[in-house]
């Protein structure tokens, strides 16, 4: 064994602290540094030379906690709060199942099928309607009856537990996929390093070399093409389109917004339908009814709506083309807060409440009989055989002392333009326009049609989920476009006058190869002009 005294630790040696050689002199300690060189023989390597260096610094004393026989206490795992922490504590196997692509596709197809079924089955009808439409003695497809509809809640499909449960399951799958797949992909994409080996660069999807070029010139060309460029010595790294890696997370978030908005619309809205004659009022809260457990009324429900006027527009053929309602809104103190004339596709909005013009009818006729009146005769809708034509009728009794039966003059109207009159025997007597001031004599009675009073059919609705759904669709369109961006990366290494270039991308690989070739063609060549220097 050879002992060599060394003043310091040499490089690439194994350092070991020891107190085995101590010299006592005048009650103080002194350490002796030395190096032990030895040879180890193995069957594979033959003679292996090793050096063990003993430090001249004494090791620190062992404390009770540092005892070799005592195990170090394990640090408690760090827990994060919020949704991320909940996902981290969720069983990994469950997350893997939920994030399965086939499961998510199946969930979306199931939701689409339920939505289609919701358009086929009439929504919001009374129980008697479904009993008659889907009877047990003649079930649809041999098994589907009204009991299925009532049990599964398909009469209010979009707020039924089945539909909302599928939405929750799809939302859970999206969050699991984001956590287990998309976020790790983004983390990996954000990590980058310079490549110091030309062999590694040549293994990239696209690779090339420039025999007489400068990596700095390449960096300038890449910056002009929209790349973020980093240079460290002879190495270069450049990338662009990193936003495309974040886009799938944005797409998932947008889909969650759409589903949340749809759920809020289905379970948190109010709906109501009312037909109001011209000149009458109604209170919004008396018409609106909740659609789910999230429905909460607001102060706007105390608003009173007055129908000032109802009128219709007509085609040249006489058919109704459009109908309008002049509405005034009054607050709880009786002050008019808004007035607007609405029509089909032009609703009124106030305090989160939307009033749509959807229908019309004729509520009454005002007539004069022998100069007396006017008399308000209520109009009733008449059932027609097929078609969507409307017809309303009323009856003006006429005293006949010679008859025990009630007789009178019949009046029919298709719209507010004209009224057809028939005598007591049911024979056609004539046609008069309301407010024409032209009386007609029927069975010895002078009848004048003063006015036809229309009724406005209004749909009232509050839908707090609409802004959320619109925001979700806007985000979905934006993130979908961003996801089309390619995340492209380029590495380069200067080796003498040669630059090795390699790169890869996650999509549009053929276009990326063409782009790299075009960029390399623009890199200037270094031309040797003398033996002492190179001028670019």
pLDDT tens track for 355-405: 999 999 999 999 999 888 889 999 999 987 766 788 999 999 887 666 667
Concatenated DSSP letters for 17-75? ---SSEEEETTEEEE---EEEEEEEETTTEEEEEEEEEPSSPPPPP-GGG-TTSPPPPP
CA dihedral 270, 273, 278, 279 (to 10 degrees): -40
Place of tokens 């979905």: 476
Number of other CB atoms surrounding residue 172 within 10 Å: 17
Cβ–Cβ under 8 Å, residues 212 and 471: no
> Quick check: 452 and 362 in contact, CB under 8 A?
yes
| Closest C-alpha to 263, from 334, 160, 193 | 160
pLDDT computed for residue 310 by the predictor: 95
pLDDT at 341: 97
Phi, psi of 97 (to 5 degrees): -65, -45
Q: Kindly tell me the burial class for residue 295, based on how many C-beta atoms sit within 10 Å of its own C-beta (0-12, 13-18, 19 or more).
A: middle
Spans in the chain with pLDDT lower than 50: 1-74, 531-536
- Please tell me the predicted confidence (pLDDT) of residue 318: 84
Q: Check if the beta carbon of residue 200 is closer than 8 Å to that of residue 239.
A: no
Burial of 367 (0-12, 13-18, 19+ CB in 10 A): buried
d(CA 24, CA 29): 5
Cβ contacts of 373 within 8 Å, gap of 6 or more: 366, 367, 450
Per-residue pLDDT of 119-140, as tens digits, reads 999 888 889 999 998 998 888 8
Q: How many residues does the chain have?
A: 536
Structure tokens, 440 = 């007609």
**Which residues are CB-neighbours of 514 under 8 A, at least 6 positions away?**
none
Q: What is the dihedral sign for C-alpha 254, 255, 258, 263?
A: negative
Cβ atoms within 10 A of the Cβ of 415, count? 19
Residues 6+ apart with CB under 8 A from 259: 167, 170, 171, 472
Give the pLDDT confidence score for residue 90 in this predicted structure: 62
| Domains, the chain, with CATH or none | 88-175 (no CATH), 198-255+479-521 (3.30.310.10), 268-361+458-477 (no CATH), 362-399+407-452 (no CATH)
Bridge partners (DSSP) listed for residue 343: 324, 346
Task: Tally Cβ neighbours within 10 Å of residue 189.
Answer: 17
> CA distances (Å), 277 to each of 40, 353, 458, in order?
109, 21, 11
Q: What is the pTM of this model?
A: 0.64
C-alpha to C-alpha distance for 503 and 517, rounded to whole angstroms: 11
Cα–Cα distance measured from residue 458 to residue 272, given in angstroms and rounded to the nearest whole number:
8
Is the previous residue joined to 374 through a cis bond, with omega within 30 degrees of 0? yes
Q: Which single residue is written with the structure tokens 């006058």?
A: 497
């Amino acid at each position: 064994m050879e002992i060599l005294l060394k003043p310091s630790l040499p490089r690439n040696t194994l350092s070991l602290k020891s107190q085995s050689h101590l010299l006592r002199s005048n009650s103080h300690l002194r350490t002796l540094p030395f190096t032990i060189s030895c040879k180890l023989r193995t069957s594979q390597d033959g003679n292996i030379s090793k050096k063990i260096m003993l430090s001249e610094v004494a090791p620190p004393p062992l404390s009770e906690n540092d005892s070799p026989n005592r195990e170090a206490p394990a640090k408690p795992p760090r827990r994060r709060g919020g949704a991320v922490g909940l996902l981290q504590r969720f069983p990994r196997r469950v997350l893997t199942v939920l994030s399965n692509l086939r499961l998510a596709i199946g969930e979306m197809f199931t939701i689409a099928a339920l939505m289609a079924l919701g358009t086929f089955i009439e929504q919001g009808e009374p129980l008697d309607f479904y009993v008659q439409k889907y009877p047990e003695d003649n079930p649809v497809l041999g098994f589907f009856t009204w009991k299925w509809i009532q049990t599964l809640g398909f009469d209010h499909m979009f707020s039924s537990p089945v539909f909302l449960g599928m939405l929750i399951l799809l939302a859970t799958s999206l969050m699991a996929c984001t956590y287990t797949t998309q976020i790790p992909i983004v983390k990996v994409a954000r990590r980058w390093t310079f490549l110091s080996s030309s062999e590694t660069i040549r293994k990239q999807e696209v690779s090339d070399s420039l025999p007489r070029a400068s990596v700095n010139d390449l960096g300038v060309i890449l910056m002009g093409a929209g790349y973020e460029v980093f240079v460290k010595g002879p190495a270069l790294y450049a990338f662009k389109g990193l936003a495309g890696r974040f886009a799938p997370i944005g797409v998932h978030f947008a889909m969650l917004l759409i589903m949340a908005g749809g759920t809020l619309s289905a379970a948190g809205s109010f709906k109501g339908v009312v037909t109001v004659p011209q000149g009458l009022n109604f209170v919004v809260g008396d018409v609106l009814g909740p659609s789910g457990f999230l429905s909460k009324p607001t102060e706007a429900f105390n608003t009173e709506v007055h129908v000032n006027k109802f009128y219709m527009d007509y085609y040249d053929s006489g058919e109704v083309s459009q109908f309008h309602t002049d509405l005034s809104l009054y607050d709880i103190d009786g002050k008019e807060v808004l007035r607007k004339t609405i029509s089909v596709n032009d609703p009124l909005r106030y305090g989160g409440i939307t009033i749509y013009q959807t229908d019309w009818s004729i509520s009454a006729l005002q007539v004069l009989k022998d100069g007396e009146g006017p008399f308000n005769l209520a109009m009733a809708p008449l059932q027609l055989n097929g078609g969507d034509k409307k017809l309303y009728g009323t009856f003006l009794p006429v005293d006949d002392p010679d008859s025990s039966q009630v007789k009178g003059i019949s009046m029919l109207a298709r719209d507010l333009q004209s009224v057809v009159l028939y005598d007591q025997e049911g024979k056609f007597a004539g046609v008069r326009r309301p407010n024409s001031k032209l009386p007609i004599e029927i069975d010895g009675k002078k009848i004048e049609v003063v006015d036809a009073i229309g009724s406005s059919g209004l749909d009232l609705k509050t839908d707090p989920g609409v802004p959320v759904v619109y925001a979700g669709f806007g985000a979905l369109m934006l993130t979908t476009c961003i996801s089309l961006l390619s995340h492209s990366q380029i590495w380069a290494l200067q080796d003498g006058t040669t630059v090795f270039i390699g790169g890869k991308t996650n999509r549009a690989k053929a276009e990326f190869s063409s782009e790299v070739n075009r960029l390399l063609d623009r890199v200037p060549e270094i031309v040797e002009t003398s033996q002492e220097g190179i001028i670019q």
